[in-house]
């Protein structure tokens, strides 16, 4: 009898689950041991053959059948079977296990056991046709495929599938999705091929439901949770990305707790344990910290022991921030080490080693510290290496270095060089100059390893602003043109408020000398406007065309002198259909001050500015200051003569924990060098200063400063009931600008969580104060005559005010001929306008016919008064909150500001926003 040995066959049904366990059938065994009693005899026809002892046989022949891609020798190499060797059932069983352990085969069967002609019938593992991912939305295919090992044209194995399932689950765990599951399935194809399908159920992101702290007595749970990077999932943290569980963040939070306690004087603090438990539904984590606070220490004796002979130990110790008796603060110790290292570096000791020696007194609860400064040599810059710049030329970076090869090392100059290179805006932030030991102990190598970022900008945007209504912008700019640090820019803006196009170029180092030369040509169309109710009325239009050349020369590291020349042609016009009468500007419609501003003028001016700049970044400063003092003289030819001065000062403080405090003050004054008639200010309205939105939050555009309000009368003279209107929406209000202004600002930028920072949200609170004043009161536009009765007595209204007559203004045609109106009672041409005092003509100026007696055609202007308001240097004050947001649809600025101190006539505004414009 031939006994066949085989294992379970690999499943071939479509979509069968892969990871089921392998089933082994028992091998047929030999007869029972000889000591066992023989069974009872059976009938002759059915009696089995007697049991025989297990035999040892010899392999006569050995072959492998069923291989397609594998060589038979490869299969046999995994077994110990060889021709001529003896075998037993146990050795055949072991051969099957060895072959299957290779994971090359799906099924193995051994035949010819009785005869010794051993045949291994095999079925190879299938070949993978495709690997398919289903259900994955949070992780895209390309993120998963590069992590798993299975791929088309590879051989399928269960081990590889299990490993890939584990990898995919781990990827989701890194994203905080601990409820994610992966079920592998197989689809059988012809030619022993299969498709592997990973069905992914991502599940929700596992949040941190609760953070428990045990053992804290001095500080509340809320205080300690506030020091951690991980946050509890609450409505207030819905925008934060730190509410998901992260094992690395758990370790980081332990360090944060330790740092906090060390800064509060608890030098023995330790975290006993930190345990994160996943809830049964795998949706949330509960983190529990067990802490041991220990006693609170104070600083004992603080001293400095310097082995550098240039330093005075006592003087250094007196300059330290920590004093004996203060509460111990580990952060102060770290800052002191940095301070002493920088001090040594400023004297040329680049590698001075500062090590604190702590002496803890557990009875007195004091921590004495001796800062030991090891002996060091003065160091010199051996060389400066620049790496990572592929577009930017080396000289662009080297010219910002404040140290040269061969100079004495100085940490202050290294820091300054670092700030200047960062301010270029050509490289990624957090750039630092590395210091390495040189070829000798007194040599240092400075390495500027930069990482370039895109310096070309192409912007096409549309938005809506409370100031400019709909805005369309387009600009192209290369801030590092040709890799030489040159700035080339072209921009165009369009809105209902203004239109402009500008082309500019700046060479920061002319002929490789520290001299900047730049130029700009521009065309700007500006529309001034006022409101009557919600109706926005354009008053005058100003079109400016011109150019400017600027030359800048540095005087010292921080001071720069800048000169400029400007030539501008201004054209100021009014809408003739609205504000003109008889072909000329009508003061009764436009106001005398606007009619005086009309015309075309050339302005030729030279200017000079003195600039101090120590900001750590020109793009987004966090510390340092900037001061600009400038003056301009107009009168080198042209039609305008004036002298104008301006100043602008800003200072920034990084006050820690991400808070940035800034203070700013600006102002200006313009003095005309021309004479003017009484009641006419010699400084033209287009050259004056205006103040309001957007620079003065809490006020509308041009909402602060001198203005003319025109208030009309209601009622009739005949009824004696004339009265000034009180509805502000029916009062014409024109800002006319001032000769002088000032504006101050205090602002605190508030840091938010990592999620908000990733979205580019930067809130702030601010306080502002300013004023605009200094122009002459304009002449009255009109003087209205008081009405009289038939006897020549003056008439008054019921409230005692004088009754005023409207002004009748005769009208003329384009040729200057007086116009008459045909009476409405005329049967031929009632109401027709004509140049005939009697009769009428077919065309204006034509021959007169008819007998109608016509009346002079007048336009009636109802009485009004003009109030001159806002011309005061008294400060206007506002306070508010603002948010800068780099939104997906462009930069956005929101401000909510309340003006709590105003002057009569000021125009306030509570809420402003700008979308699609720079801020």
Q: What is the pLDDT at residue 899?
A: 94
Q: What is the pLDDT at residue 796?
A: 84
Phi then psi for residue 660, to 5 deg, are: -120, 120
Q: Is residue 836 a contact partner of residue 805, using CB atoms and an 8 Å limit?
A: no
Q: What is the pLDDT at residue 690?
A: 94
Nearest to 467 by CA among 43, 842, 898, 912: 912
> Quick one: tokens of 232?
């509890």
Who's near 671: CB < 8 A, 6+ residues apart?
Answer: 642, 643, 644, 683, 739
Q: What is the pLDDT at residue 590?
A: 82
Nearest to 469 by CA among 565, 521, 534, 409: 534
Q: What is the pLDDT at residue 747?
A: 95
pTM (2 d.p.): 0.62
The CA distance from 263 to 282, in Å, is 37
Q: What is the pLDDT at residue 888?
A: 58
> Which contacts (CB < 8 Å, 24+ apart) does range 351-359 have?
351/376, 351/379, 351/435, 351/437, 351/444, 352/308, 352/376, 359/300
Q: What is the pLDDT at residue 784?
A: 87
Q: What is the pLDDT at residue 463?
A: 55
Q: Which three-class secondary structure state does DSSP give residue 89?
A: helix
Nearest to 601 by CA among 563, 544, 658, 675: 544
Q: What is the pLDDT at residue 565?
A: 96
The CA distance from 431 to 448, in Å, is 8
Q: Which three-class secondary structure state does DSSP give residue 178?
A: coil
Q: What is the pLDDT at residue 13?
A: 33
Q: What is the pLDDT at residue 503?
A: 95
Q: What is the pLDDT at residue 627?
A: 96
Q: What is the pLDDT at residue 915?
A: 55
The CA distance from 316 to 445, in Å, is 28
Distances (CA, A) of 877 to 739, 763, 768, 801, 850: 20, 20, 6, 36, 69
The ranges of the chain with pLDDT < 70 are 1-56, 236-241, 459-471, 529-538, 619, 718-719, 753-760, 886-891, 914-919
Strand boundaries in 799-889, DSSP class E: 807-810, 820-821, 833-834, 838-840, 849-853, 855-856, 858-861, 864-869, 872-887
């Amino acid at each position: 009898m031939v006994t066949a040995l085989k294992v379970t066959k690999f499943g071939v049904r479509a979509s069968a689950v892969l990871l089921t366990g392998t089933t082994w059938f028992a091998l047929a065994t030999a007869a029972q041991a000889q000591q066992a009693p023989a069974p009872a005899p059976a009938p002759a026809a059915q009696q089995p053959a007697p049991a025989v002892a297990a035999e040892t046989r010899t392999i006569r022949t050995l072959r492998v059948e069923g291989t397609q891609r594998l060589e038979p020798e490869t299969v046999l190499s995994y077994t110990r079977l060889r021709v001529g060797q003896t075998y037993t059932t146990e050795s055949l069983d072991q051969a099957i296990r060895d072959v299957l352990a290779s994971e090359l085969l799906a099924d193995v069967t051994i035949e010819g056991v009785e005869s010794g002609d051993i045949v291994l019938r095999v079925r190879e593992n299938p070949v993978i046709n495709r690997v398919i991912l289903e259900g994955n939305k949070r992780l895209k295919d390309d993120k998963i495929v590069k992590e798993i090992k299975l791929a088309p044209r590879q051989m399928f194995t269960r081990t590889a599938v299990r490993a890939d399932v584990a990898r995919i689950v781990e990827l989701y765990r890194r994203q905080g999705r601990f409820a994610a599951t992966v079920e592998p399935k197989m689809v059988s194809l012809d030619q022993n091929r299969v498709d592997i399908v990973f069905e992914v159920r991502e599940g929700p992101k596992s949040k941190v439901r609760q953070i428990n702290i045990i053992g804290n007595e001095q500080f509340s749970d809320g205080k300690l949770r506030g020091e951690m990077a991980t946050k509890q999932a609450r409505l207030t943290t819905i925008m934060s990305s730190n509410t998901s569980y992260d094992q690395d963040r758990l370790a980081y939070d332990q360090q944060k707790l330790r740092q906090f306690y060390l800064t509060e004087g608890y030098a023995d603090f330790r975290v006993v344990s930190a345990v994160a438990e996943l809830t049964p539904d795998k949706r949330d984590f509960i983190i529990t910290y067990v802490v041991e606070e220990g006693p609170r220490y104070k600083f004992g004796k603080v001293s400095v022991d310097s082995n550098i002979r240039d330093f005075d130990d006592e003087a250094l110790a007196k300059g330290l921030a920590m004093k004996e008796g203060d509460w111990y603060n580990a952060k102060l110790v770290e800052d002191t080490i940095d301070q002493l290292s920088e001090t040594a570096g400023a004297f040329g000791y680049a590698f001075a080693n500062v090590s604190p020696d702590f002496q803890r007194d557990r009875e007195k609860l004091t921590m004495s510290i001796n800062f030991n400064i090891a002996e060091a040599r003065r160091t010199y810059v051996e060389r400066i290496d620049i790496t990572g710049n592929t577009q930017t030329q080396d000289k662009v970076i080297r010219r910002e270095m404040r140290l040269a090869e061969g100079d004495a090392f100085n940490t202050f100059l290294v820091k300054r060089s670092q700030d200047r290179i960062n301010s270029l805006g050509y490289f990624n932030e957090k750039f630092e100059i590395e210091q390495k030991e040189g070829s000798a102990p007194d040599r240092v190598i400075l390495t500027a390893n930069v990482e370039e970022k895109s310096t070309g900008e192409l912007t096409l945007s549309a938005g809506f602003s409370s100031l400019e209504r709909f805005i369309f912008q387009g600009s192209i700019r290369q801030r590092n043109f040709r890799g030489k640090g040159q700035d080339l820019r072209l921009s165009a803006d369009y809105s209902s408020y203004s239109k402009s196009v500008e082309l500019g170029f700046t060479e920061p180092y002319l002929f490789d000398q520290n001299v900047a030369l730049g130029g700009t040509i521009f065309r700007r169309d500006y529309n001034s406007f006022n409101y009557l109710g919600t109706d926005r009325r354009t008053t005058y239009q100003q079109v400016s065309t011109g150019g400017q050349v600027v030359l800048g020369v540095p005087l010292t590291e921080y001071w720069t002198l800048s000169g400029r020349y400007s030539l501008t042609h201004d054209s100021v016009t009014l809408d003739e259909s609205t504000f003109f009468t008889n072909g000329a500007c009508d003061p009764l419609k436009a106001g005398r001050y606007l009619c005086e501003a009309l015309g075309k003028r050339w302005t030729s001016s030279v200017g000079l500015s003195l600039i101090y700049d120590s900001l750590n970044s020109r793009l987004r400063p966090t510390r340092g200051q900037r001061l600009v003092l400038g003056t301009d003289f107009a009168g080198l030819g042209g039609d305008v003569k004036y002298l104008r001065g301006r100043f602008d000062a800003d200072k920034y403080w990084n006050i820690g924990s991400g808070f940035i405090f800034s203070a700013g003050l600006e102002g200006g004054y313009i003095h005309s060098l021309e004479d003017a008639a009484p009641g006419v200010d010699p400084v033209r309205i287009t050259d004056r200063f205006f103040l309001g939105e957007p620079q003065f939050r809490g006020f509308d555009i041009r909402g602060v400063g001198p203005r003319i309000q025109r208030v009309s009368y209601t009622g009739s003279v005949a009824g004696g009931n004339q009265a000034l209107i009180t509805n502000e929406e029916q009062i014409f209000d024109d800002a006319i600008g001032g000769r002088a202004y000032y504006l101050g600002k205090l602002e605190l930028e508030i840091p938010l969580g990592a999620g908000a920072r990733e979205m580019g949200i930067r809130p702030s609170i601010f306080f502002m104060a300013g004023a605009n004043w200094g122009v002459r009161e304009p002449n009255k536009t009109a003087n209205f005559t008081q009405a009289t009765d038939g006897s020549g007595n003056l008439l008054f209204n019921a409230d005692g005010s004088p009754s005023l007559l409207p002004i009748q203004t005769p009208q003329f045609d384009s040729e200057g001929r007086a116009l008459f109106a045909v009476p409405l009672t005329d049967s031929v041409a009632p109401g027709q306008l004509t140049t005939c005092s009697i009769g009428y003509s077919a065309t204006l100026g034509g021959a007169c016919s008819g007998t109608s007696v016509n009346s002079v055609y007048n336009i009636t202007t109802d009485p009004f008064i003009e109030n001159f308001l806002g011309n005061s240097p008294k400060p206007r004050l506002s306070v508010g909150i603002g948010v800068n947001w780099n939104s997906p649809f462009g930069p956005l600025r929101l401000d909510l500001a309340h003006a709590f101190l105003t002057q009569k006539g000021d125009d306030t505004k509570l809420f402003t926003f700008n979308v699609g414009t720079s801020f």
